[in-house]
Amino acid sequence: MRLRWLTVLALATLMVALICAYDRDVLHFLGWDGQTSDNYAAWSGSVPALFTLVGMSTLITGMWSHVNCHEPGCWRIGKHKVSGTPWCSAHHVNARPERSERELLEEISAHLGAIVSRLDRET
């Protein structure tokens, strides 16, 4: 499945590269025709645009991963916070612990009470 997507992406990239290389209108739109030098055309137009595109896509990906569900493979927006991480409506039940914090604290205090009573008996 992944190989198929990589092949499609490679072919699409090749098609775009061929269209850009041989179509004068695309070259004119990108600003690569009639320039004083090839370096001027690259560094004044397309290279900053590519850096901007990569930076913006990185920001969007980071923001999306911050708000989407933390279940692997789930792309839904996480509306429920469980221990500070977002979970969607379908998976927030799975993310909740089996015992609540109150139950855990009661169990710990019972254990501590037993330890204290043993120590009191030994002294």
- pLDDT at 111 (0 to 100): 93
pTM for the model? 0.44
109: confidence class by pLDDT, cuts 50, 70, 90? very high
Contact between 77 and 61 under an 8 Å Cβ cutoff? The reply is no
Q: Give the pLDDT confidence of 23-38 residue by residue, as tens digits.
A: 777 777 766 676 666 6
Q: Which residues of 85-108 are buried (b: 16+ CB within 10 A; e: fewer)?
A: ebbbeebbeebeeeeeeeeeeeee
Residue that is written with structure tokens 């792309």 in the block: 75
8 Å CB contact between 88 and 79:
yes
> What pLDDT, in 10s, does the model give residues 114-123?
999 998 887 7
Q: Which residues contact 93 (CB under 8 A, 6 or more apart)?
A: none
pLDDT at 115: 92
Q: Are 79 and 86 in contact (CB under 8 A)?
A: yes
- pLDDT of amino acid 86: 84
pLDDT tier, 83 (very low <50, low <70, confident <90, very high otherwise)? confident
What per-residue confidence (pLDDT) applies to 59?
92
Worst-scoring range by mean pLDDT, 39-43, 51-55, 110-114?
Answer: 39-43
- The reported pLDDT for the residue numbered 9 is 86
